[in-house]
Structure 1
């Protein structure tokens, strides 16, 4: 994937983490002109249960998260200066490849359009982290990713506890395990500033929707696939009638 260098980056002043962070705020729905303010509004009845706007948001959001964290994981494996940072990069690649497989599996079944590119703000995070080197890279990598995963953790729990759609519920189960794992490996790097992380998670600024929304795919554009690593330990959700790790041909159910 290529990332635009024109996206607005974030700043680190005097070694302190200063982020403009709502990276995993709900993106606007792709393929729909209007979005209701009531996120629990049912937009479709499916054989797996009713699908709400927040259910659809969640599937799009998990996909978008992988589109910036997966390549950033590869960057961390290459540029990290410690074993712990490189290990954290490996976990990003492994976990998001499996989540992405699940998203691509269930999206056509629920008639959800998935993005092929992360949001402008997420792209800016990749550019900011990748532009640093050495211990500054390690710190930027660990802190930004710890904050974004901490921010999404409560959202995953909300979806898991409220959705009536079994496919979305299965994705939430997988996402919960993956996000907790990624929080843990970031903390194990020893670079996380917990005071800054808590502040950024609880007081995110309001940004324009255009900064937070991944663009829809272009007509005829092939879908980006996040390939699992050769030593993958994470597995996609297995749907009824299939074995874990397989990807059926997309069908609208």
Structure 2
């Protein structure tokens, strides 16, 4: 009953082994290709207003509202004052998306009974004033710099709320806001005039022994040997698999032949 196990194993592995080998030999880039980046399924999140509402949650909803109150008029100015078609496109896209985000924010605030502001704060009004006083390339730089800095500040704040809030409506708004901010960061950076050297430096990682001791060995264990590429290593593994299966078949076949010889000699 077990005599044909190697044969069945070979038939089961032969197709995948040859397919992997062919992929590595003829298209190694495809073998290393990453899967498509997923979009979070917002429809799976509840939005009932249930859960404890913290002071940080309330502050977050207010800040999302404030972002729209100044970025919508800033985007309108970009469409009117910039001579660069790309800046005008960016301004139009960001202003339009903030209209949509503002509607989501106001709906969440009504459900949670959060009082929202009706005008930008003092800093935001100052930034809008700078844009009104600028023209041409100066306007473009101010518009991109101010919005890129603002999005860079709210980005980690959104992550903190998304990860910590107990309220399902705030959780969903944070996830939605995160998708808007990611899009706006990308649009602003597509202008080609973001001064990345002026961005704030990220804090140094925690190098305490209790954390590094648990992380470093795992990282070391997955490191590829110097000079050995991923496709070559995978090719060697596939080759070893093929040789091993062939050897197993030969050994099993020889064993069956010897058993039959002994049986015939009795």
TM-score (ref. length: structure 1): 0.59
1:104 aligns with 2:103: no
Asked if the contact 2:49/2:112 (under 8 Å) is kept, the reply is: no
Structure 1 runs of 4+ off > 4 angstroms?
Answer: 199-202
Provide closer, same or farther for how the CA distance between residues 146 and 93 of structure 1 changes in structure 2, counting only shifts above 3 A.
same
- Partners of 2:113 and 2:100 lie apart in 1 by 20
User: What SS class does the counterpart of residue 110 from structure 2 fall into?
Assistant: coil
**What residue number does 2:125 align with?**
123
**What residue number does 1:69 align with?**
71
TM-score (ref. length: structure 2): 0.56
- Partners of 1:98 and 1:170 lie apart in 2 by 15
**What residue number does 1:186 align with?**
188
Q: Which moved more, 1:193-202 or 1:78-87?
A: 193-202
**What residue number does 1:164 align with?**
166
- Partners of 1:190 and 1:153 lie apart in 2 by 20
Alpha-carbon deviation of 1:47?
A: 4.9
Asked if the contact 2:49/2:111 (under 8 Å) is kept, the reply is: no
Q: Unaligned regions of 5+ residues in structure 2, if any? A: 1-47, 205-266
Number of positions where the alignment pairs a residue of Structure 1 with one of Structure 2: 157
The answer to which structure has the higher strand fraction is 1
Cα RMSD, aligned residues only: 2.0
Instruction: Pick the aligned partner of 2:116 from 108, 114, 117.
Output: 114
Provide closer, same or farther for how the CA distance between residues 133 and 200 of structure 1 changes in structure 2, counting only shifts above 3 A.
farther
**What residue number does 1:133 align with?**
135
**What residue number does 2:31 align with?**
none
- Partners of 1:155 and 1:84 lie apart in 2 by 29
Alpha-carbon deviation of 1:65?
A: 0.8
Asked if the contact 2:71/2:94 (under 8 Å) is kept, the reply is: yes
Asked if the contact 1:147/1:201 (under 8 Å) is kept, the reply is: no
Alpha-carbon deviation of 1:200?
A: 11
1:64-92 Cα offsets, whole Å, 9 max, x none, are: 11100011111111112212211110122
1:32-68 Cα offsets, whole Å, 9 max, x none, are: xxxxxxxxxxxxxx85111000000000010011100
- Partners of 2:124 and 2:49 lie apart in 1 by 34
User: What SS class does the counterpart of residue 199 from structure 2 fall into?
Assistant: helix
Provide closer, same or farther for how the CA distance between residues 156 and 80 of structure 1 changes in structure 2, counting only shifts above 3 A.
same
User: What SS class does the counterpart of residue 128 from structure 2 fall into?
Assistant: helix
- Partners of 1:57 and 1:170 lie apart in 2 by 15
Q: Write out aligned runs for 1:21-40 (5 A).
A: none
**What residue number does 1:239 align with?**
none
**What residue number does 2:52 align with?**
50
Provide closer, same or farther for how the CA distance between residues 199 and 137 of structure 1 changes in structure 2, counting only shifts above 3 A.
farther
1:8-38 Cα offsets, whole Å, 9 max, x none, are: xxxxxxxxxxxxxxxxxxxxxxxxxxxxxxx
Alpha-carbon deviation of 1:197?
A: 2.3
Asked if the contact 1:159/1:169 (under 8 Å) is kept, the reply is: yes
Provide closer, same or farther for how the CA distance between residues 118 and 110 of structure 1 changes in structure 2, counting only shifts above 3 A.
same
